[in-house]
Structure 1
Amino acid sequence: MKYYKQLLVAALVAGLVGFSACASAGDSGYYPHDGYDYARVVSATPVYTDVQVQTPRTQCWDEQVAYRQPASPAGAVIGGLIGAAVGNKLGKNRHRGHGYRHRHDRGASTVAGAAVGALVGHQISSANAPTHYVTEQRCQVVEEVTTRRELIGYDVRYRYNGREYLTRTDRHPGDRIRVRVDVTPAW
C-alpha cells in the first residue's frame, strides 16, 4: 500500500506540473522553445484604400462644318472694271482744264477706282458663293479618372494567454497567427 501511495503522489505531482506548464504555454498548449508560439485569431477585417487612376482616352464626335466655295475671280474683275470706269470719270470731271496735272490725277483716280471696285466685287462674289455642309469627325485625348479599391492588409484581432491583441498584416492569417513570446523572470 505504501508503494501505491508513493505512486499516487508521484502521479499527482506530475499532473500538477503538466497542468502548470500547459496553463503558462498560452492557447496553443505549447511552451515556446524558440521564442515563438501561435495565438488564436478572433477576427480578420480587410482594410482597403481608394486609388485614383488616370487613363488617357480618345474621345471622338461628329461635327457639321460649313465650307464656302471660293469666290469667282469674275466678281473682282468686273468690280475692278466698273471701279476703274467710275474713277476715270470722277478724275476727268474733277480736274477739267488743269493741263498736265489733269492727266496724272486722272490716272490715279482710275487706279484707285479699279482697286476699290475689285475689292467690292470680290466681297459681293464671296458673300454670294454657295455654302455646303460636311460632317467631319473630330477627336481629342482626355484623361479619364477612375477610382479603384485596393486591399492594403487585414486588421487582425487575436487572443493569447487570455488577453486580446490587435495587429495589421499583409495577408489573411487564417485561424491562428504566429506570435513572438518573451518570458522574463519576475523578481
Structure 2
Amino acid sequence: MLLPTLLFASAMVPAWAQDTTVIQSENVRFAYAQVLRVTPVYQTLTANAVEEQCRPAASPEESESRLARVVGAVKGALGRQSEDAPSPVDCEPVTVRKEFHRPIAYDVDYVYKGSKYRSRLPDDPGNRLRIRIGVTPVVSGIRDN
C-alpha cells in the first residue's frame, strides 16, 4: 500500500512544479537625468487680516461754530501752538482679505538617454535629477497589472 502511494505522489510532483513560477528579484541601479524645465505648482491661500485704516479728522472749520473757531484761535495764540503740530487723525479697524501663493510641488521635465519624462516632485531638483532604473523580465503566464 505504501508503494502505490509513493508512486502516485512522485507522479504529481512534476505537475505541481510546472504551476509554480519563480519571480526573479528586480535589477536596480541609479543614474542621473538632465533637467530641462522646472515649473512650480502653487496653492492659493486666502486670509482675513484686520488693519487700521486712518484718514484726517474733520477740520475745525467744518465741524465747529463760528464762536468756537474764534475761541480756538485765541487759545492757540495764547498757548503759542505751533502750526506744524500734527493734525488729528481718525483711525478704525477694517477687515482686509489677502491672498498668498506658495509652491506646493514642482513639475519637472527631464531627459534620460534621449527620452523625455515629466514628474511632479516635492522639491526643485536643480540641474540634475537622480533616477532609479529597474529592470524585471516578463515571465509568461503571469498577468500584468
* Larger of the two Rg values belongs to structure: 1
- TM, length-normalised to structure 1: 0.38
- TM, length-normalised to structure 2: 0.47
The structure where helix makes up a greater share of residues is 1
The structure where strand makes up a greater share of residues is 2
